[in-house]
Structure 1
């Protein structure tokens, strides 16, 4: 069986285009041909061959193969023990990244999954989702994410990048992420240090060494940057904006804003509205 699905306008980051299953007859083949989207085949029984880029793979139950967009592939069921497989067609801006996390690329298109029957279960759940009316597309997208997360979890270890981040770079990124997530709260440098798990003075020293600025200054500038983006919203008062970026003292907000931008919040908003 096979079901084709309309292109998703809601889930452009990742969406299912089709899914199906087939108990192939001996010698049944497809190709050489190209596809316009990604296609994952998972072998539930039997054997067959898959050819791509001049390489031939002999595959069996518990293995699967990736077909990428616009790549010539050929696959054929064994003549004495033909395979039965299910497949999932999908696309989206996150598809390539998620597949790489699972160790699947055009140069490495084979995967193994023999832990349990969860891949077939996801196929079954997709088929059963026909009973959904309003939420089917979202439900199918969730199942696709679950399928790919399974391949990521049990796939090969990711290769070590040529550029290996230093420990200082990792800590700095954690500080930036914490600030960008929590800038609206009354956070302190001590809060950040406790979150990172480092001594406050040591963390401040690392941060300054990497970015040539202090954590406090980075926090202030990030808050004012977000405040500037809010200035164009006429429904927000200056006080609303101040509280939204973590300043509950309007005088302190005005002081920090002028320090960073060179003008008061009111003057800045007046200039923004003139443009």
Structure 2
């Protein structure tokens, strides 16, 4: 195996759980990454060697020292730095992911910013997670999107079932119902100029309470989620159709093309036109 494998997965069709990047690396001594803030969840499984993770939030910071057969989670929006040991640098496999169910799955595995370190319940569980993550690295970029997403679900299953911090989810939560109602409302009405107030009214909830419930369940504010949902639909139209930018803007709920382009750039770091040029599917 090469000392480093790196893949990018760019497919906006998978909303519940999707991959952004994944790879493998056998690090040099003291090789480090950060300080940096991630936009998505990032999980590393340590195959061999040692290293450390530093996580900072506001004025507080925590340092974790880890070695082979453990792993660590980095949550989006957190300042982090991780570094290989000088004598025994680590070798790891990693995956960057996100989606509607990402926060829920990490909670089920017992992983969070306060508890970022994965400890397996057994050597068998550790080997299972390692093997599933290594299989993911064998998929070329974007060539088999359903295979890649399927492999991500197998990784999540191995992570949850193999975690010593695994938590049992409580079924039938009313908050889960409200979140699902809001998601259905967005899916059915994102082409219209809907607001957070409209979502709250759909659930018969006060706007501020609805916002808290939604963020607790989904991991994003209703407004941020609505914007990202619309932009994901826009990327599909940009790459698979010949519609004008103005027509796409209207189809994803933005009557004002300037507002649409500004929102798109905030998410993807480029204009809709540039995104189309870089990602247009071959006909």
Instruction: Name the residue aligned to 2:224.
Output: none
CA RMSD between the two structures = 2.4
Q: Are 2:11 and 1:11 aligned?
A: no
Answer yes or no: is the 8 Å Cα contact 2:41–2:96 preserved in 1.
yes
Larger Rg: 1
Q: TM-score, normalised by structure 2?
A: 0.53
The verdict on how the C-alpha distance between 1:141 and 1:78 changes in structure 2, with shifts beyond 3 A counting, is same
Deviations, residues 219-256 of structure 1 (Å, cap 9, x unaligned):
xxxxxxxxxxxxxxxxxxxxxxxxxxxxxxxxxxxxxx
How far is 1:159 from its partner?
7.1
Alpha-carbon separation, structure 1, partners of 2:108 and 2:17: 15
Instruction: Name the residue aligned to 1:219.
Output: none
- Runs of 5+ in structure 1 lacking a partner? 171-275
Alpha-carbon separation, structure 1, partners of 2:116 and 2:44: 10
Q: Are 2:74 and 1:67 aligned?
A: yes
Deviations, residues 100-142 of structure 1 (Å, cap 9, x unaligned):
0000111111102332522332233223333995xx1111111
Q: How does 1:227-246 map to 2 (within 5 A)?
A: none
Deviations, residues 179-210 of structure 1 (Å, cap 9, x unaligned):
xxxxxxxxxxxxxxxxxxxxxxxxxxxxxxxx
Instruction: Name the residue aligned to 2:160.
Output: 152
The verdict on how the C-alpha distance between 1:39 and 1:160 changes in structure 2, with shifts beyond 3 A counting, is closer
The verdict on how the C-alpha distance between 1:14 and 1:46 changes in structure 2, with shifts beyond 3 A counting, is same
How far is 1:157 from its partner?
4.1
- Runs of 5+ in structure 2 lacking a partner? 174-283
Answer yes or no: is the 8 Å Cα contact 2:108–2:169 preserved in 1.
no
Q: How does 1:186-225 map to 2 (within 5 A)?
A: none
Instruction: Name the residue aligned to 2:149.
Output: 141
Q: Are 2:114 and 1:107 aligned?
A: yes
Answer yes or no: is the 8 Å Cα contact 2:93–2:134 preserved in 1.
no
Instruction: Name the residue aligned to 2:128.
Output: 118
Alpha-carbon separation, structure 1, partners of 2:70 and 2:98: 21
Q: Which has the higher contact order (CA 8 A, sep 6+)?
A: 2
How far is 1:61 from its partner?
0.1
Q: TM-score, normalised by structure 1?
A: 0.54
Q: Which moved more, 1:24-33 or 1:149-158?
A: 149-158
Task: State the number of aligned residues.
Answer: 161
Deviations, residues 69-104 of structure 1 (Å, cap 9, x unaligned):
111001111111110111001111110001100001
Instruction: Name the residue aligned to 2:40.
Output: 37
